Structure 1
């Protein structure tokens, strides 16, 4: 076997690419990871603010089993490479100074909190909601998440006739918002659980009801990772390197090369070529579709209209003194009108005047004391993914910061900045992840069919495989890691199939000389 045939090149050291690189390197393949940034992680990153570093990417870690299985498949123990602390308090939510609600990993503790907040009827609705959430997760985990069934027919075939009733009961054709109305009447609870749609970058008014499974995922365990999720990315990269993978940072891929209708390697921006007959592209599918990796690979991606893109964000990473509100690690401050907020973002393509704000107080833990002085905060508001067509102006960013402060103060929180915050807007995300227009999650899940529009690991171009948050099974750290596992499994399966298909002499028919 030639060097090109035996080499796998992974484009992008996001968590999907890292998972694929680790699994393939452990299987004995020669793996090279090329990453345009200076370090691994992709969106799992941190930024310097003053004298400290603030995590600027995802902050919620769930579905630990995906990483435990990934490490176990590579003869390693996940617990030895990442230090995790379970959270009993999932998040603190606020609407005004006097309206606060905590949700817990223990459903009965959450039910008791909801009872005190909104009454016994809503608490009972929450219990029914949890049961439905668990049912949705059980129905989809095996065929959709673990096995990567990317079409309705494939999913139905996998569950069989006995499982079709389960598929129907999870309300695949309903929206999240309409389904929540069968469990809750309190508009604040509709808002709280409707926010699960934003985990995939969508509006709760158009996202499918199947996203209710997020509740079950969180109840199964939310952890904080020592050093943040950027440290988790480094741990996966380090183990992949131990297993033999080579990492090349600061390497900008110019194009994917093909020969004879299949992958033959790639060319870097400096003109260097790397031969390979297998490539895992861990980039946004829209980057492929925009021909950022060359015209031959473009049909394997997708081109999304602005309305099809997931949400983007404006983030502020800060060192600040928090006063007047008891921050937990995860906090959400809700706007006064959720429907108006999403109409402004997704229809008018503007930042809302009254935004919902997520804050990760990264120095707050359940076991430790409250910070004495400035603390590290990641603050996020949703924004339209128009970072390429219509970048936000400095005036709009300034107004966003003002509106953010106003909403926090309405809930009792004031912030004293110890240094200027580091701001990233949709144009900044587009710069970091070209082709995405700033969309953080690829295609937005809108309607039941959108779930099956994401590309799977295999493509129609032989030798090209896909991984990442814009690929099946979807966005988020565990799902993106699972996409890498699925890509690696597809590569190993296809190589095994090729190895078992020995060449043999065949008598020719009409098409053979």
Structure 2
């Protein structure tokens, strides 16, 4: 049924959401609250998308995001749904944002408290470097404040519309600040202006990998991640997967239906617009609107049908973001003390080579290793006590997306040995428990998330144009909308939620524009201030 025909019917609009990731769950809950007939179709057995779990023996471990930032996005979301985030989840604020290791005895904690971090950097690298860190923090906050509402919460930003929104919302001071946020230089080059210690350049350059990019290619605007983290990092009791569960439960309270273990074979078209989906078992489901919450590349690759592929044909080359090798393991930990977030760097001189090898489709020779100690607070104290001596750990190494060539077992084995060497160099001693580690490779991610090629963050952020070239929530195909980390405003849990909010608002606007009935467009938006 067309939107025009629907305007004269009495039934609520039917919306099919493909994928129960954070963006899809957010949009589904908001649309359900507005009275839409919403049905979420998910190929996996559980909601969450990349916010998933793996099992190591009887233990469950987070296998995607490990902490929550920008929690006010979810506070506002649950408030709009008539719920309270604090009543749904138990959140613990991290005192230590991350513990960073280089060699034995070379350790630096970044804290949510600015003065604690300043003192730590002064002890680690000198008072001049600590003073430059203060200036960097002020700059990161200014970049964030400039881009928050005009870019991240705007549905279809362009350079011109960004400048206009900044001028309208922040006046001439905001426009002057926009000209000072260094969009045309790389993060690495800009970090060189603030830090002389190459170890600190490594530390803050790593924020580019949060978006799946190289600090040597990513725009300097990504320094805003430093401010987002410093405002607050939260641990979710029970793991981040609990957030996916409570989002799904909130959607169900709004009348949203879920079908797990269902795979969509193709999108159905009628009269030039999307009219529903066909499932892998041949069943066809009609819809007024389809919201795709998978990797947007799946559509342009024709994985959901040639008609949609042709309609969305785009010659723009968007290099893929990083993938990863992850190991989930139970182990006894001794030696250096872990926090919840831990990063083990190799020698600073080899940092550029790490990303050059990944760009060539190879694994790094001296990889930076991230370790999430899932039984520890954001300090050094275990989350729980008991008779169990082992801890639940996830180790992650950045890796290339598949590029059509899966990594070989010898390559992976060599990288794993280098990972253990790097942890040992940092002073960590890990004794694995009786259960074998669970390894996840780029080719595994490619299979779990069709169209991604194993890239975990959509297109990589390379140069200032990348920020404006991400797919938007509203497509050129009538009735088809997008949400998720591969579309605007970008990857990450809160950004995916914002993409779902933007998609829901665009869907409401599309229906309102074709109806003479009272508007259903949701007022306002989720402020991230």
TM-score higher than 0.5: yes
1:350 correspondence with 2:362: yes
SS state of the match for residue 92, structure 2? Answer: strand
> Is the CA contact (8 Å cut-off) linking 1:341 and 1:354 kept in structure 2?
yes
Q: 1:369–1:137: structure 2 CA closer, same or farther, 3 Å change rule? A: closer
Cα distance in 2 for residues equivalent to 1:203 and 1:402:
23
Residue 399 of structure 1: CA displacement?
1.0
Matched, 1:254 2:270: no
Mapping of residues 109-188 of structure 1, within 5 Å: 109-160=116-167, 162=172, 163-188=174-199
Q: Aligned-pair distance for 1:353?
A: 1.3
Counterpart position of 1:511: none
Structure 1 pair 78–357 and aligned structure 2 pair: CA distance change class (3 A) = same
C-alpha RMSD over aligned residues: 1.7
> What TM-score, normalized by structure 2, do the two folds share?
0.92
Alignment match, 2:96: 89
Question: What is residue 194 of structure 1 aligned with on the other side?
Answer: 205
* Ranges in structure 1 where 5+ consecutive residues have no aligned partner: 503-513
Mapping for residues 41-60 of structure 1, pairs under 5 Å: 41-60=48-67
Deviation, structure 1 residue 98: 1.6
| Alpha-carbon spacing, 1:148–1:111, altered in 2? closer, same or farther (3 Å) | farther
Partners of 2:467 and 2:263 lie apart in 1 by: 31
Q: 1:448 to 1:495 in 2, by over 3 A?
A: same
- Matches of 1:215 and 1:106, distance apart in 2: 13
Contact kept? 1:288, 1:302, Cα under 8 Å: no
Give the direction of change, closer, same or farther, for the CA distance of 1:454–1:106 in structure 2 (3 Å limit).
same
1:401-430 residue CA offsets vs partner (Å, 9 max, x unmatched) = 101000000111121111210000100000
Ranges in structure 2 where 5+ consecutive residues have no aligned partner = 1-5, 519-529
Residue 106 of structure 1 pairs with residue 113 of structure 2:
yes
**Count, aligned residues:** 499
Decide whether the 8 Å contact of 2:295 with 2:486 is kept in 1.
yes
Give the distance between the partners of 2:516 and 2:158, measured in 1 at CA: 28
Compute the displacement of 1:4 (Å).
8.6
What displacement does 1:279 show?
0.8
- Look up the match of 1:510: none
| More divergent stretch after superposition (322-331 vs 371-380) | 371-380
Say whether the 8 Å CA contact 2:444–2:454 is kept in structure 1: yes
Does residue 437 in structure 1 map to residue 453 in structure 2? yes
Structure 1 residues 85-484: aligned runs within 5 Å: 85-160=92-167, 162=172, 163-298=174-309, 299-300=311-312, 308-336=319-347, 337-346=350-359, 348-365=360-377, 366=379, 368=382, 373-386=389-402, 389-418=404-433, 419-484=435-500
Q: Distance in 2 between matches of 1:6 and 1:383?
A: 43
Helix, strand or coil: the match of 2:182? coil
Partner Cα separation in structure 1 for residue 427 and residue 328 of structure 2: 20
Q: CA 1:447 to 1:125, structure 2 compared with 1: closer, same or farther past 3 Å?
A: same
